[in-house]
Structure 1
C-alpha cells in the first residue's frame, strides 16, 4: 500500500474504470493520513492494433467509453487534472447530453442580434450580425465595465419573457439610465433566441415582455436582490418558495393537485372554515365588550349620578308640590252624596283603564321585539339550510367518485312553518292591540271588554270628560275637595313614575339608575374580565386553527431541508422555516382605525409607525401568548390616554387585533438564523442565489447578472461557486460576472468575452471558448485578474507557491 501511495503521489492521472473513479476523487486515500489530491481516471482502449480502436465506442464488453469535456488540445487534456470530477466521465453518455436531447425546449442553443433592414447606423453600430452559441451547462460572460455584458443578459430576458423586466439595466425605460431604449436606438435592432428544440422566437429590442406567454427563462438581474426590501417583491418571492417546496413534494403526496395553492386549499379548508366561524363569534363578543367598557368608563358613572340627582330632585319637587290637604265636606245632601259616589266610581274605573292602557302599550312593544327575534331566527335557519346544501354540493362529486350518495349520507329538514304560524299570531295580536274599533265610547259601552290601545285611550278621555261634568254639579266645598283628590292622585302617579318599581324598573327611573350604579360598582368589572377572558379564548382557538395551516407548511418542507444539508456548514447555515409572518398591511389597517393627531402612544405619523414597529419586533409570532400580549398591551396603552379620542371605531379595532388576521403561515428562508428582512444586501444576495441555484427545481435556463456584487470573496468561492457547479448539472446557467471565483471556480464550460467599442460607434464584438483556450485564458487573466503581472504579483505577495 505504501508503494501504491507513492506511485499515486508521483502520478498526474490514472487508467482504470468507473469503479476506480470515486477512489481517486477522495482527499483521504493515503495510508499515512496525509492529504491526497483529486486525480482523473481514464478508461483506455489498450489498443495494440487499429482494429482495437473500436473498443473506444464502448460497445465491447470490458471497455467503457471515456468522455472528456475539454478542447481537443493538450491544454484541454491537462485541464482535466484541475477538474477531474467535472471534466471526465466513464460510462454511458453524460447526463447533460441526454437532457439536451430529451429536454431540448429548455436549452438555449444561441442568440442572434442584428440591425433592422434600412437602418442607416446613425445612432451606432451596436449589434450587427451577432451570432452567439451557448453551452448547455455553464456560460460565463465577462468583459470590462460597459462592455455589453448586461445587454446580452437583458436581451435573453426579453426574448425569454422574463417577469423581471422592471429590473432590466440595459433594456430599461428608467429615465435615469435610459440609453438604448430611447427613440432611434432599440427599435432599429432585433433579437432572436435559438432553442435546442429548433424554436427561434424573435423581437425588436424596443418590444415589451409578453406576460401572457409562459416565462421561458429565469432571469435574476443585477439589481433584483436589492429590490427584495419591497414588500411586493417579498410576497412574490415567498410564492416562489412555495412553488419550489411543492416541486420537492413526491407526486404521491400531492393528492392530484398541480400547485401549492391547490394543495393548501385542500388540506386546510376545514381549519379556515373554523377560523371564519370563530371570527363571527369574536365580532359578536366585541359588541358586548364595547358596551360594557362604555358602562365602565368613569364618565358613564358621572353621567348616571347626574341623572340620578336630577331624578331625585324631580321626585323632591313633586313631593313638595302635593296639594294642601282639603278636608272632606260634611252635611252633604243625599243628591250630593250620590254624585260623590259616582265620581269615586268613575275615578276608579279611569285608574283601571289607565293601568290597562300602560300594559297594552308594553305588550305591543314586547310583541314587536318578539317579531324581530323570530325574523332573525328564520334568517339563521335559512343560512343553516343554505350552508348544508352548499356543503353537500361541494362533497357530491367526491362521494360520487367513491360510489356514495351524498343525499343518503347527509339528510336534513328545516321546517319554519311553526315559526311562520307564530309570527302570524303575534302580528294578529299587535294588530288587535293597535286597531281602534271606531265606535264612540258612551255610558252603554262595556269598558271591561276594551283591549286596544286606541280604545283604551278613548275610554280614558271619555271618563275624564265625565268626571269633569260630575264635578260641575257639586257644591263649592265638594268641588274643592274633588280637585284636591285629583291633584294628589296626579302627583302620586308622577312620583311613582319617577321612582320606578322595585322589580324590573323602567329605564331612566330612580330605581333603574340606582341599580345600574350598583352594577357598575359591584358587578361590572367581574363581567368585563369574564368577557375579556372569553375573547382571549376565542383568539387562542383562532391561533390553534391557524397552527393547523402552519403544520401543513411544516410537513411539506422536509425534502427541501434534506437538500440544504448538502451545502450547510458551521460558517454558512441556510434553513427554511414554516413560520407565522405579519402582514405588510398590518400597519396600514391598524392606523386606519386611529386618529393620530390625538394624544396617545401612536400619535404622529412617523412616531406612531416607529412605536408600532418596536412593538412588533418584540412579538414571537409563533407564540399565541406573545401575540395576545401584543394586542392587549396596545388596547391598554390606548385606553390609558382615552380610547374614544384616539380610536375612530373601537369595535373594529378590537376585531382587527384579536382576530389574528394580520399574520399567516409562510415559508421563511433564513441565513444564520436571520430572515430575509434582517440580512445585509450581501447576505440577502447570497441567500437568494443559493435558493435559485440549489433549491429551485425548475429546468428553464437560469440567467444571472453579476451576482457577486456585495458578496465577499470567501462566500463566493466556498458557497456560491459550489452551488453553481451543482446547478449546472440540472439546468443551463448563463452567468454575467467580473469575479474569477465564479467563472473559473465554477469551471465554466464556456467563457464569452464581450466588448462594446464606444469609439467605433458602439460596435459589439465577442470571443467564445473554454477556460483552457489560450485567447480566452488571456482574456480571463486580463479582465478578471487584472492582467498576468498583477496576478503574479499578488501570488508572490501572498507567498503562494
Structure 2
C-alpha cells in the first residue's frame, strides 16, 4: 500500500436521486440514465456521493444497483444520507437534520433501519415508527382518501417529525450508531438552525448544533465561525458546541438540471482518501480537511513540490517508487528502519545536502546515512519528479553533487545541520547567518536596494552613520590633542610670567651698567642713542615677525603641492570606496576632487614677495661711512619712518662719540647689543605669556566643541541603532501580531557599553594606581563609570550622554589627573600622557550596537541546544515566507519532551504545510497526529546482512486509513494518547 495519503477530492454530500420521496422532479419516465450520465460528466469530477432521501434508504439501494452494473466508474464511495425533519420550527418550516451513514459495515442498511425504527411520532392517538410501512400508515391516517402506498409514503414523510431529545437518546444508546453515523444539520435560515430565531429556542438551537458533527452551509461567514476564525474562539466552540465543525454543501438536487451543480459552484471538498473515515477526519480537523468553494485550497506551488521519488540500482530498496503528498509528509519507523535514508535520498535529488554531509564529517557530529553507506550505494540513483513535470536524477554517492550548475531545490535540516548550528558549545555563526537571511528576505525587493544579503543591506543602511562616527572620533582626537596643548600652555603661565619679570630686570640691569660707562658731557648722545636703539628693536621685531610669516607661506606652498599630488586624490579614492553604489562614472567623480577655491599659488607667491619687500624696505640700503662728527639723522625726524641700516649706522657713529676710550666704547656697544637681544627675548616671552593666558578660554571653547562632537557621535550611534531596528521592522510587526509559539520569539537592537574594557584600559595602561587617591584600588574607576555612565551610554539620548560625560569629567577629572604616572615637570612625557588620557576618556569604541534574538525572554546565546533547535524551526516553519521550496527535516523533536513538541512545534507545522511541502522524519506521535500529517510513510528494514545494507520497504497513506493509524500507534510512543487528544470532545470513534 503506497498512496499519496490525504488529497483533496470533490464530495457530493447532499444529492437526491430519482424516486426521492419528496419534491421528486426527475420525471415519471425512467430518468436514471440521464441522472447518472450527468454525474459521470460533472466537472470537477465527483468521487464521493451521499445519496439523500427522507427517512428511508430506498434510493440509496437503487443507486448501489446501478453502481454494481458498471455505472459511475469515477465514484469511489457511496453512502446514505438520511434526511430527517425535527419537531423544531425554523423560518420556513422545520429544522432539517441528516444521518450520514458509513457503508463500511456490510450490514449498515439493516443497522441504520433498526436505528430509524426507534424513532416515533405520536398522532391520531397512535404511535408511528420511522419505517416505510409506518410512514405509509401515517399518510393514510392523515388523508383517508389516499389509496396508493407511494402517495401515502410521501404524505407520511411530510407529517413525521423527529423529536430532538428522542433522536439524541436513540443515537446515544447505540454503540453502532456512535461508530457509524455522523450527524449533519442544515445551517441556513430557511430549514436550518439559523432560522431558529425565537429567544426561547436559542438553547434548543445551540443543543442541536452541539449534537451535530457537520453543518450543511456554503456561507463563508458560517465556515469561519465554525472553525474559530470569526467572533467565537476555538475554546469557546469547544465549550458551547463540543468543538469546531466542518461546513459542507451539496447540490440538494431534486431535478436533473441541478444535479452536481450547486449555486455559484460551491462544491464540497474533503481532504483524505476516498473512504468514509476521511469525513470523520474532517470532523476532527475541519479547518484543514473540509472546504466549500469552486476549487480546493492551494498549498505549495506545483513546481515546488516533489510529487514522486524513484530509487534505481539499489536492490536493498524493495519499494523503489514512492509518490509524495504536496503537504506534510511524515516518515516514521523503528530505529534503523530507513527513515533518514529516505530523507537523505530525497535531499540528494534536490542537491540539498551540504558538502560536509558527503564526508569529512566533524567527529562531534553524527554522519548521515549516505556518508555511512557510501561504499554500498555506488551506482545507485534517485530520480525526483516535480509537480511541474521536471525530473532530476542524482547519484546517491554524491559524485555529481554540488556541481557548478546545481543549486539546492529544497531546504534540508539534517541532524548534522541542526547539530552544527545548535551545538552545546555555543551559538554558531551558521544559526546567526540563517536568522539574518530570514530577516533580509522578509523585506521586499524594493526595500533591499540591490543588496544581495543581510550584510550588504545592513552596511547600506548604517554605513553613513558609521562614517559619521569615524569623522567625529577623528575630530575628537584632533581636538583632544589641541586641548592637551592648551593645558600645557596654561601650566606655563607662572613660568612665563617669571621669565618676563626676569628679562625685564635683566634689561634694567644692563641699561644701568651701560650708563656707568658714560663720560661726562655725552648725555645728549646717550639719550639719542637710546631712542635709536628702541627704534631699531621695533624694526627688528617687525623683521622677525615678517620672517615667521614668510616661513609659513613657504610651508603652505609645500602643503598645497602635497594636497594636490597625494592628499586630494586619496580622499577622492576613499570617497569612491565608501560610495560604490553611487553609479557615478570617472568623469563625474572628478567633480568631487577637492581643489582650492582661489589661486593659492599666485597668492602665496605674492605673499612671499610682499614679505621679502617689507623686510628689504625695513632694512634699507647700506649707509657709507662718513664724517663721525656729522649726524646722519636730523633730530626732528620721525624715527619710525627710517630704515634699520640708517639707524644702526647712526648708533655706531654716536657710540664712537660717547667715549673716546676704545675699551669703554666696545663695552658700551656690547651692552647695547645685549640689551637688544634681551628685548627680543622679552618680546617672545610676552607673546607666549599672552598666548598662555588666553589658553584657558580657548581650552574651554575646545572642550565645548569636543563635547558637541561627542554628542554627535551618539547621534550617529542612535541613528545606526534606529536603522538596524528598521531592518527588523517587518519581522517585528509579524511577531507582534502573532500568537502562540511564534510570539515567544523577539528581536531587539540595543547599545552595549563595555564599561569593563573601557575602565580596565585606563587602570592598566594610563593611571598609576599606586598613588594614593580616589582611584587607588582596582576596579574603582569601573565602579564609578558604571554608576555614572553605563546606563546613559546604553539608553540615553545624545544630549543626555553629553551631559553625563560633562558631569563625570567635572567630578573626576582632577582625581584622574592626580593618578598620572608622570609629573607635569616631565613636560614631554606628561604631554604625551595627557593626549593618551584624553583620547581614552572620549573614546567610543567600547560602545557597540548589538541585535539580540530572544526566545521566551532568553537571549538565544543562553538557550539550550534543543531550544535553539526550536528557534531554527521557527525560522523555517513560520518566518521564512520567501522560501517556498520543500522543507525536509530529520527529527525536529530532538531534545524536546512530548509536551514541548505539542506546545512549540505542532502549530508551526500546521501553518507551514499550507504554503510549502514539508517532509519530516519523526518519532513523535504529536508531530504526526496533531499536525494532521497528510501522508505517513512507514519505513521497515529487514535483517542486516553482513557486508551489505538491509532490505528497506515503505508503505504510505493518510491518517484516515485504519492500517496507517495502527502503524502510527504501534511505532510511535504516545500514539494512542495523541489520537485521543485529537478526537476528545467529539463523538467520533477512531478505531485502529
Normalising by the smaller structure, the TM-score range is 0.5 to 0.7
State the Cα distance separating 1:218 from its structure 2 match: 2.7
Is the CA contact (8 Å cut-off) linking 1:285 and 1:535 kept in structure 2? yes
Residues 1:39 and 2:248 aligned together = no
Residues 1:280 and 2:450 aligned together = no
Does the C-alpha gap of structure 1 residues 254 and 546 become closer, same or farther in structure 2, counting only changes over 3 Å? closer
Does the C-alpha gap of structure 1 residues 137 and 157 become closer, same or farther in structure 2, counting only changes over 3 Å? same
Residues 1:200 and 2:392 aligned together = yes
Secondary structure of the structure 2 residue equivalent to 1:704: strand
Secondary structure of the structure 1 residue equivalent to 2:307: strand
Q: 1:219 aligns with which of 412, 426, 444?
A: 412
Secondary structure of the structure 2 residue equivalent to 1:717: helix
State the Cα distance separating 1:86 from its structure 2 match: 1.9
Cα deviation digits, residues 457-505 of structure 1 (max 9, x gap): 9x89x989x979x99x99997122112212322332343344x33xxxx
State the Cα distance separating 1:94 from its structure 2 match: 1.7
Aligned counterparts, 1:650-799, within 5 A? 657=844, 662-663=848-849, 670-677=854-861, 679-697=863-881, 698-754=883-939, 759-760=944-945, 761-763=948-950, 765-769=952-956, 770-785=958-973
Residues 1:95 and 2:297 aligned together = yes
The CA distance in 1 between the partners of 2:284 and 2:834, in whole Å, is: 70
Residues 1:105 and 2:287 aligned together = no
Q: 1:367 aligns with which of 553, 559, 565?
A: 553
The CA distance in 2 between the partners of 1:320 and 1:764, in whole Å, is: 119
Does the C-alpha gap of structure 1 residues 109 and 633 become closer, same or farther in structure 2, counting only changes over 3 Å? farther
Match of 1:137 in 2: 327
Match of 2:737 in 1: 565
The CA distance in 1 between the partners of 2:576 and 2:402, in whole Å, is: 46
Is the CA contact (8 Å cut-off) linking 1:326 and 1:484 kept in structure 2? no
State the Cα distance separating 1:747 from its structure 2 match: 0.8
State the Cα distance separating 1:749 from its structure 2 match: 0.8
Question: Which deviates more, 316-325 or 760-769?
Answer: 316-325
The CA distance in 1 between the partners of 2:373 and 2:835, in whole Å, is: 52
Is the CA contact (8 Å cut-off) linking 1:287 and 1:651 kept in structure 2? no
Cα deviation digits, residues 144-173 of structure 1 (max 9, x gap): 45555445445555554559666x5x8662
Aligned counterparts, 1:5-404, within 5 A? 5-13=206-214, 17=218, 21-22=223-224, 24-25=226-227, 34-44=240-250, 55=259, 58-59=260-261, 61=263, 64-96=266-298, 103-113=301-311, 130-145=320-335, 147-157=337-347, 159-162=349-352, 173-177=361-365, 179=367, 181=371, 185=375, 188=378, 191-192=381-382, 194=384, 195-197=386-388, 198-206=390-398, 209=402, 214-220=407-413, 221-223=417-419, 226=422, 230=427, 232-233=429-430, 235-247=432-444, 276=467, 279-280=470-471, 283-293=474-484, 295-296=486-487, 327-329=517-519, 357-368=543-554, 371=557
Secondary structure of the structure 2 residue equivalent to 1:95: coil
Is the CA contact (8 Å cut-off) linking 1:563 and 1:695 kept in structure 2? no
Does the C-alpha gap of structure 1 residues 371 and 241 become closer, same or farther in structure 2, counting only changes over 3 Å? same
State the Cα distance separating 1:288 from its structure 2 match: 1.5
Does the C-alpha gap of structure 1 residues 138 and 587 become closer, same or farther in structure 2, counting only changes over 3 Å? farther
Does the C-alpha gap of structure 1 residues 734 and 360 become closer, same or farther in structure 2, counting only changes over 3 Å? same
The CA distance in 1 between the partners of 2:377 and 2:835, in whole Å, is: 55
State the Cα distance separating 1:11 from its structure 2 match: 4.6
Secondary structure of the structure 2 residue equivalent to 1:531: helix
State the Cα distance separating 1:746 from its structure 2 match: 0.6
Secondary structure of the structure 1 residue equivalent to 2:244: coil
Does the C-alpha gap of structure 1 residues 66 and 171 become closer, same or farther in structure 2, counting only changes over 3 Å? farther
The CA distance in 2 between the partners of 1:212 and 1:607, in whole Å, is: 61
Does the C-alpha gap of structure 1 residues 537 and 565 become closer, same or farther in structure 2, counting only changes over 3 Å? closer
Q: 2:665 aligns with which of 460, 471, 482?
A: 482
The CA distance in 2 between the partners of 1:246 and 1:282, in whole Å, is: 33
Secondary structure of the structure 2 residue equivalent to 1:490: helix
Match of 2:47 in 1: none
User: What is the aligned residue count?
Assistant: 718
Is the CA contact (8 Å cut-off) linking 2:901 and 2:926 kept in structure 1? yes
State the Cα distance separating 1:140 from its structure 2 match: 1.6
User: Scaled by the length of structure 1, what TM-score is found?
Assistant: 0.67
Is the CA contact (8 Å cut-off) linking 1:367 and 1:426 kept in structure 2? yes
Does the C-alpha gap of structure 1 residues 563 and 175 become closer, same or farther in structure 2, counting only changes over 3 Å? closer
Question: Greater RCO between the two (CA within 8 Å, min separation 6)?
Answer: 1
Q: 2:674 aligns with which of 482, 491, 498?
A: 491
Is the CA contact (8 Å cut-off) linking 1:112 and 1:131 kept in structure 2? yes
Is the CA contact (8 Å cut-off) linking 2:744 and 2:855 kept in structure 1? yes
Is the CA contact (8 Å cut-off) linking 1:142 and 1:753 kept in structure 2? yes
Residues 1:535 and 2:709 aligned together = yes
Secondary structure of the structure 2 residue equivalent to 1:707: coil
Does the C-alpha gap of structure 1 residues 564 and 703 become closer, same or farther in structure 2, counting only changes over 3 Å? farther
Does the C-alpha gap of structure 1 residues 467 and 544 become closer, same or farther in structure 2, counting only changes over 3 Å? same
Is the CA contact (8 Å cut-off) linking 2:245 and 2:283 kept in structure 1? yes
Is the CA contact (8 Å cut-off) linking 1:378 and 1:419 kept in structure 2? no
Is the CA contact (8 Å cut-off) linking 1:112 and 1:193 kept in structure 2? yes
The CA distance in 2 between the partners of 1:587 and 1:32, in whole Å, is: 55
Secondary structure of the structure 1 residue equivalent to 2:442: helix
- Flag structure 1 segments of 5+ consecutive residues without an equivalent: 117-124, 398-405, 449-455, 796-800
Is the CA contact (8 Å cut-off) linking 2:479 and 2:702 kept in structure 1? no
The CA distance in 1 between the partners of 2:281 and 2:672, in whole Å, is: 121
Is the CA contact (8 Å cut-off) linking 1:756 and 1:765 kept in structure 2? yes
The CA distance in 2 between the partners of 1:353 and 1:689, in whole Å, is: 87
State the Cα distance separating 1:244 from its structure 2 match: 3.8
- Flag structure 2 segments of 5+ consecutive residues without an equivalent: 1-200, 627-631, 634-642, 770-774, 822-829, 984-988
Does the C-alpha gap of structure 1 residues 779 and 62 become closer, same or farther in structure 2, counting only changes over 3 Å? same
Question: Which deviates more, 213-222 or 727-736?
Answer: 213-222
State the Cα distance separating 1:309 from its structure 2 match: 7.1
Structure with max Cα Rg: 2
Does the C-alpha gap of structure 1 residues 346 and 39 become closer, same or farther in structure 2, counting only changes over 3 Å? closer
Match of 2:111 in 1: none
Cα deviation digits, residues 321-362 of structure 1 (max 9, x gap): 896875335699xxxx9x999999998998688556534422
Is the CA contact (8 Å cut-off) linking 1:113 and 1:189 kept in structure 2? no
Is the CA contact (8 Å cut-off) linking 1:693 and 1:723 kept in structure 2? yes
Residues 1:443 and 2:624 aligned together = yes
The CA distance in 2 between the partners of 1:631 and 1:189, in whole Å, is: 71
Secondary structure of the structure 1 residue equivalent to 2:391: coil
Cα deviation digits, residues 659-685 of structure 1 (max 9, x gap): 97x437x6x655445554455545544
The CA distance in 2 between the partners of 1:5 and 1:152, in whole Å, is: 49
Q: 1:423 aligns with which of 586, 604, 612?
A: 604
State the Cα distance separating 1:700 from its structure 2 match: 1.5
The CA distance in 1 between the partners of 2:873 and 2:797, in whole Å, is: 31
Is the CA contact (8 Å cut-off) linking 2:476 and 2:710 kept in structure 1? no
Does the C-alpha gap of structure 1 residues 113 and 656 become closer, same or farther in structure 2, counting only changes over 3 Å? farther
Aligned counterparts, 1:452-467, within 5 A? none
The CA distance in 2 between the partners of 1:375 and 1:746, in whole Å, is: 76
